């Protein structure tokens, strides 16, 4: 059974502050409980604000493994790269952290997805690795990670990571519900008035919105006032 909490803040900056605080707490609890912290980051602009706060936060980086819930099939030096952006804004300056970016430039993205699954199991066990924390965003269409409305990836029950495409046809890699919903904690970082309708739909249980089916043990929505209006 999933525990769901909605927290509303006046500004995106306050959302980022709450996200960074939650990241530190999850990291320290995980390391105390089982010696490591396994986290999956998302893309998007809201997490980016939290990255700068985490640069000076007391995170046990040397016991931290960073994965990504999704990424775009571009090189890490591309501004669209979720892994590249997190590395430039934070991770490349954090001593001791272990990062596990997906192989987004592989010619065979299905093989890259399988490799990502194997890497997750090597770090967090299996058959379904339990991530300590997953950060997710949500698009105005209710997508989360790269799980888009009407996508075949939504009905995947076996694979933990799959190759998929965004509505614009851009190739992506994404974690699937079996992996995301096995996480101890999911935190949504959602800001902007353009998300208000999708949020209301998720709160009403609209099954056509991919974010609705995220049901980890603890799901915390960090929202700004514009989204939660």
Q: Tell me: does residue 63 bind ligand 6PG (CB under 6 A).
A: no
Count the site residues for ligand 6PG by CB under 6 A. 15
Rounded Cα distance, 153 and 166, in Å: 11
Counted residue by residue, the chain has a size of 229
Considering only the stretches 44-52, 53-61, 120-128, 210-218, report the one whose residues sit in contact with ligand 6PG under the rule CB under 6 A. Answer: 44-52
The footprint of ligand 6PG on residues 100-139 (CB under 6 A) is 137-139
- In the list 15, 23, 40, 44, the residue contacting ligand 6PG (rule: CB under 6 A) is 44
Q: What is the CA radius of gyration of the chain?
A: 16
Report the residue number, 6 or 31, with the smaller CB distance to ligand 6PG: 6
Residues 6+ apart with CB under 8 A from 54: 20, 23, 24, 90
Residue nearest to ligand 6PG (CB): 137
Q: Which is nearer to ligand 6PG, 178 or 192 (CB)?
A: 192
Alpha helices in 67-210 (DSSP H): 82-89, 109-124, 177-180, 196-203
Q: Where in 81-100 is the site for ligand 6PG (CB under 6 A)? A: 82
The residue ranges that bind ligand 6PG (CB under 6 A) are: 42-46, 70, 82, 137-139, 143-146, 192
């Amino acid at each position: 059974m999933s525990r769901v909490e909605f927290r509303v803040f006046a500004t995106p900056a306050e959302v980022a502050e709450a996200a960074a605080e939650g990241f530190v707490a999850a990291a320290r609890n995980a390391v105390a409980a089982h010696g490591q912290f396994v986290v999956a980051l998302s893309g998007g602009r809201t997490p980016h604000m939290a990255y700068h706060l985490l640069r000076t936060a007391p995170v046990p980086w040397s016991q931290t493994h960073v994965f990504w819930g999704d990424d775009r099939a571009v090189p890490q030096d591309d501004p669209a790269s979720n892994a590249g952006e997190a590395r430039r804004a934070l991770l490349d300056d954090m001593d001791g952290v272990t990062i596990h970016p997906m192989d987004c430039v592989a010619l065979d993205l299905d093989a890259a997805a399988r490799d990502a699954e194997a890497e997750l199991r090597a770090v967090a066990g299996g058959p379904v690795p339990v991530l300590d924390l997953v950060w997710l965003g949500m698009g105005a269409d209710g997508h989360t990670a790269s799980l888009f409305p009407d996508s075949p990836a939504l009905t995947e029950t076996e694979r933990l990571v799959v190759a998929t495409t965004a509505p614009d046809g851009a190739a992506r890699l994404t974690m699937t519900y079996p992996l995301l919903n096995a996480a101890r904690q999911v935190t949504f970082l959602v800001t902007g008035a353009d998300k208000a309708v999708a949020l209301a739909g998720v709160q009403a249980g609209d099954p056509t919105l991919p974010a609705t089916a995220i049901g980890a043990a603890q799901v915390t929505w960090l929202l700004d006032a514009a989204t939660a209006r």
